[in-house]
Each structure stands twice: as C-alpha cells, then as structure tokens.
A and B are shown apart, each in its own frame.
Chain A
Amino acid sequence: MDIVVVDNLEKRFGAVCAVGGISFRVAAGQTVALLGGNGAGKTTTISMLLGLLLPSAGSIRLFGSDIARSRAAVLPRMNFSSPYVDLPHRLTARENLTVFARLYGIRNPAQRIAELTTALDLGALVDRRTGSLSAGQKTRVALAKALLNKPELLLLDEPTASLDPDTADWIRHYLEVFQKETGAAILLASHNMGEVERLADEVLMLRKGKIVDRGTPDDLIYRFGRQNLEEVFLDIARDRRVAELPVLS
C-alpha cells in the first residue's frame, strides 16, 4: 500500500524553482531517501509533505487523501524530525514530550514517554532542560518526539546530524527496528551516504529541484560504476553523466 504518492510536485519562489515537477511513491514498510546537495530541494519537498509549504503545482496524497484538503486528518498519523526546528529550551525533555504527546492525543503520555526513554536511552537526560543538552542529545529527544504517536509515516530530515558515529549507528538500528515492528513508511533526507546505503530501499537523487536518477543504492552504485553511494553523489552533484565516467580498473 502506498502511503505517499507525489505527482509532478513543483514549488516556485518567484523566478526560483526549488522543486521542479518530481514524482515518487513511498509504500508502507519502505524507506525512500532524498539525496542531493544543498539547495537540491530535499527540505522543500519534506516541508510540502508536512503541509508547512503549499506546492505551486502537482499533488501530494498521503494515506490516500489529498493533503491540500485533508491536512488535519493525516497529521495525527505522521511525524517528523529536523535539525531546522527545535524544542523549547526552558522545558525539560520530559515536559516537551508530554506537551507533544497531548497534542498528538496519546492516551497514556507517561507510559509512552517511559517506553521511548528506555528505547532511546534518554534516562539520564529526560529530566534535564532541553537547552542544556548537547546537539546529539537534542537530536535523540527530537527523535523521541517524532516517534511519540507511533507514526505510520515518518519524515526525517538529517536524522543523525550532530551525532557521534556510535550514537548515529545506534539510532539507525533503532529506526530499522521501529520500521520492522510498525511497518511505517520512512522518507529520509540525508547527507550521510552510509546512512542512506544502510536504510534506504530506494534513493531519489535530486539536483536543482529535479530527480536526476533513482534506484536502489546497489543499483545506483552499479550503474555509475562506483564503489559507494558517496562517489555516485559526487558524480551527480558535479553533473558527470554515466558515459563520461572513468572506467573502473
């Protein structure tokens, strides 16, 4: 079942085309990654899926409903995490999670927060002010916020930014477990190629707001004749086409 159906989505800011007619789908239990350099249109696309930004053209269907008409109905079934937003610094992590648990209508907020505190190893942090946490710790709290309502669709914008490799690996493992347990669809935007290779079932390579290539990580690496996704990313970012690539020895 397709959770996300994006058709010919476009966003223009005056003369600037931030997203130029992209189409893709994300099925339940699938992880799709948006990969591209700065200004490629990843965050703009995610913002449109969240309803924070209105498209200039095209359509977005989430859970079978057009988000332009049914935003209020689909928002309780999804959640997101992004380094571009924050949680109030004066509140403790627990207070922030309590507020959002109530906003999402969680029946037993204390129990759900306790579950996430254990799952994301927040025990020592949960009663500290959010503003006193390190960037990595804040990322974990933001992820806990994103998982409060057990979302069927999880939008993650650079979910492991600011995390040390050990914690980032741990988070990725947790996301894999979460998806396996819940069958959630995940749309991921990341600059971390290792992360994308590990988590994504499909990669959409974005450049200047357009999808310039797509496929599984292995498929892209094979077609570009590269060793890993980072090399593929550099080829695309530098506009090198497959035919122009040096032959691998």
Chain B
Amino acid sequence: MTAFSPNRVAAMCLRHFYTLRRSWPRLVEMAYWPTMQMVIWGFLSQFLATNSSYIANAFGVLLAGVMLWDVLFRGQLGFSLSFIEELWSRNLANLYCSPLTPLEHIVALIVMAFLRASVGVLPAMLLAIPFYDFSIFALGVPLLAFFFNLLIMGCGLGLMVTAMILRYGLAAENMAWFLVFLLAPFSCVYYPIEVLPGWAQAIAWALPSTHVFEGMRAVLFDGTFRWDHFLAAGALNAGLIAVGIVVYVFSFARARKLGLLLQVGE
C-alpha cells in the first residue's frame, strides 16, 4: 500500500481551485444565501430586540445561530459538491485509476469543504458588523471551536451523502441539499433544547450541532465557555467521521464490485 500523499491531496485541491477561480457565478452563489439569511435574520433580531426579552438579553443570538448553521450547511454542501463535480464531469474513473487513494480523496474534500464554507459565510459575518453592529468575532476563541465542530459534522454528513451517491448514482444527489435540514429541528439553532419534547431531546443530544448551539448560547448569555458541550461535540464528531469513513469505504468497495465507478451517473 502506498503511503498517504499530501501532494495528491494538494493536486485534488488544485483541481477544485481551477474550477472555482474562473466560475464567478459559483463564488457568488456560495456567499449569496448566507448573506441573504443574515440580512433577514438581522432585521428580525432588530425587531425582536425591543419586543422579546430573549433577544434583548443577547441581540446576536439569532444572527450567530444563522451564521453558524450556514457553516454546517455550507461545509456539508462543499464536501458533497466537490465530489459530485467529478460525476458531472465523468472524471471519477480517471481519478480512481490514478494513485489517488480514497482516504486522500476524502482529505481533499474536507479541505475543499473548509474553503467553500469560509468563502460562503465570511462575507455574511463581516457584513453583519456594519449592518447590525454585531460581530460574531466577538465570541473570541470559542468561535473557532464552534466553527470547526460544525465543519467536521458537515464533512461527516458529506461522507454519508457521497457514499449514497457512489452506491445509487446521481439519483441520490438531492441528498446533498436536504439531508442537513432533517437535523435542523433537533440542532436547536434558534431555541434552547428545553423547547423540544423529551423524545426529541434524546435525539438532539446525540447531534454535535446541538452541543455547539447550546455552547454558543452559553457564551452569548452567560459569557461562559461550556467545555462539556465542546468535548461532547468533539467526541460525537469523531464517531461521525469514523462511521462516515467506514460507510464511504464500504460503498467504494461495493461500487468496485458492481462496476459503478465507470458508470456512476443518472
């Protein structure tokens, strides 16, 4: 078995950089939705700040929620779309006939998820400062903990989506767009977990995202960083990534058995 090669990971990132640098509509689209979300939720926050003690106590709680939610969504989408691009261009067989290993491919997809999520949410985060006098960067170091936990969760979900696409072809492509929203009600992005009924809380605590958003509210309302939530999110993410890699490798082996790598498509 050949050793893991950072150069091959870099080659895959270069491939996506080439695609993105001359496709300004893609770059605009990446930043467009997070920015629009920020604008809408910003106005709503301004309204609720004078009509709701919850918002008045921490003006940015909805804005921070929507921005961090987009880190998760854009991370998952960035991972999945970078993979789907290979199917759209019928390039997957070329890649898997080269020395590129599935693990190197996965690492490259994680790097691309980070870059795509950053390009997507950074403009919204920066624009919120002049628009609403709210800086998510005021969260300080905990923001990094939230950002990376949500990004890793997005990649874990992306692994599941790509595994499904490997198995079922582009017919499963839409999962890239809706899978993460299945988890939104349980992630408690805009409300505390106590709002959920008991059975739903059990599901919510099993999601890394719930711990991130609970941790975010702790910083905004109480000014405290909840290590318990941080560690729980990290542990759950480690499990999610491990399961995701196993599912991906299993799907890859299955695709090789069924001959799907050459014919994966609609």
Q: How far is the CB of B101 from chain A (nearest CB, A)?
A: 6
Asked if A51 meets B97 with Cβ closer than 8 Å, knowing A73-B1, A84-B262, A105-B7, the reply is: yes
| CB atoms of A53 and B259 under 8 A apart | yes
Residues of A within 8 A of B258 (CB): 13
Q: How far is the CB of B146 from chain A (nearest CB, A)?
A: 33
Q: How far is the CB of A143 from chain B (nearest CB, A)?
A: 13
| CB atoms of B100 and A103 under 8 A apart | yes
Residues of B within 8 A of A99 (CB): 11-12, 14-15, 18
Asked if A104 meets B98 with Cβ closer than 8 Å, knowing A99-B11, A99-B15, the reply is: yes
B23 at the interface (CB under 8 A from A): yes
Asked if A47 meets B91 with Cβ closer than 8 Å, knowing A91-B18, A98-B14, A103-B99, the reply is: no
Asked if A102 meets B97 with Cβ closer than 8 Å, knowing A52-B259, A73-B2, the reply is: no
| CB atoms of B91 and A88 under 8 A apart | yes
Interface centre among B92, B253, B261 (most CB of A within 10 A): B261
Against B, the Cβ 8 Å flags (1 = close, 0 = not) of A48-75 are 0011111000000000000000001101
A117 at the interface (CB under 8 A from B): no
Residues of B within 8 A of A88 (CB): 15, 18-19, 85-86, 89, 91
A231 at the interface (CB under 8 A from B): no
Closest to B90 in A: A86
Residues of B within 8 A of A75 (CB): 97-99
CB interface residues, A 85-115, toward B, < 8 Å: 85-92, 95, 98-100, 102-105
Q: How far is the CB of A126 from chain B (nearest CB, A)?
A: 14
Closest to B5 in A: A105
**Could you tell me the distance between the alpha carbons of A150 and B253 in the complex, rounded to whole angstroms?**
28
Closest to A130 in B: B89
Residues of A within 8 A of B261 (CB): 52-53
Q: How far is the CB of A147 from chain B (nearest CB, A)?
A: 13
Residues of B within 8 A of A103 (CB): 8, 11-12, 95, 98-100
**Could you tell me the distance between the alpha carbons of A75 and B22 in the complex, rounded to whole angstroms?**
31
Against A, the Cβ 8 Å flags (1 = close, 0 = not) of B23-52 are 100000000000000000000000000000
Q: Top 7 nearest A-B pairs by Cβ distance?
A: A102-B11, A86-B90, A88-B89, A72-B2, A85-B93, A103-B98, A99-B15
Binding site for B on A (CB under 8 A): 13, 43-44, 47, 50-54, 72-73, 75-76, 79-80, 82, 84-92, 95, 98-100, 102-105, 145
| 30 A–B contacts, CB within 8 A, in A order | A43-B262, A47-B259, A50-B93, A52-B93, A52-B97, A53-B261, A72-B2, A75-B98, A75-B99, A76-B99, A80-B97, A84-B262, A85-B94, A86-B89, A86-B90, A87-B91, A88-B15, A88-B19, A88-B86, A88-B91, A89-B89, A91-B18, A91-B19, A95-B18, A98-B14, A99-B11, A103-B99, A104-B99, A105-B5, A105-B8
